[in-house]
Amino acid sequence: MAAPQTPPEKMMFQLALRRRGISDRAVLRAMEEVPREAFVEKGDAAHAYRDSALGIECGQTISQPFVVAYMTEQLGLQKHHRVLEIGTGSGYQAAILSKLCREVVSIERYRTLADGARKRLKTLGYDNVEVILGDGFEPPENLGTFDRIIVTAAMEKIPETLLERLEPDGVLIAPVGPHHGIQTLIRVSRTETGFDRKELVDVRFVPALPGIAREL
């Protein structure tokens, strides 16, 4: 039997990621395997493989594929890692992460988004992702510590409450900067003596806001 053909838009999608510098094969494979069309609004399915952010419920966005791939690559994931994501949104980034590590815990402040993403991830079979309604600035103590932390909403500064949750040799990536402007992706690595901080690229994310959203 002939292998199922990759649709042209998915081939272009892979090509665009490679051209922009994504080279980690496991990351490229995860980007190929996760169906982005299942995470965007119904009316946007035709645009799912364009390299752009798209609107989702609650006035939030599903990130641009290149940024998802880039942040994932920069995390340097290993199969045994436990990963914390702040800002579940559609659940797309969580699905990508789940293919590359042992367990993903993702926190979202909108109930509508958390419930939607949880259901979507379960239907698609991403069984190692737990979606929690909560405030990513204050992750529940009982979640413990993480090998990797990825923040997918803009923070004015990286809170101590998150750095404290990194395992030794842990890595955190977050967009840091003004809420409505250009932010810089920052990669923080936990070392024996403290934290190393590196600036990566400029990005634009929706703001990280404190507390669980009062709106649904």
Interacting stretch for ligand SAH, rule CB under 6 A, among 10-18, 74-82, 141-149, 208-216? Answer: 208-216
Extract the runs of DSSP E, i.e. beta strands, from 38-113.
54-55, 61-62, 82-86, 103-108
**β 183-190/195-203 pair status:** antiparallel
Closer CB to ligand SAH, 13 or 110, in the complex? 110
Q: Are 162 and 145 in contact (CB under 8 A)?
A: no
Q: In the complex, what is the shortest distance from the CB of residue 55 to ligand SAH, in angstroms, rounded to a whole number?
A: 10
CA distance 56 to 41: 6
Which residues from 3-42 bind ligand SAH, rule CB under 6 A? none
Q: Does 63 bind ligand SAH (CB under 6 A)?
A: yes
Backbone angles phi, psi at 132, to 5 degrees: -120, 135
Q: Which of 83, 108, 172, 176 binds ligand SAH (CB under 6 A)?
A: 108
Q: Which of 17, 27, 40, 61 binds ligand SAH (CB under 6 A)?
A: 61
* Residues marked as catalytic: 63
Burial (CB count <10 Å: 0-12, 13-18, 19+), residue 143: middle
Tell me which amino acid residue 137 is: F
Interacting stretch for ligand SAH, rule CB under 6 A, among 103-111, 160-168, 173-181, 189-197? Answer: 103-111
Chain residues in the site for ligand SAH (CB under 6 A): 60-63, 86-87, 89-90, 92-93, 107-110, 113, 135-137, 152-153, 206, 208-210
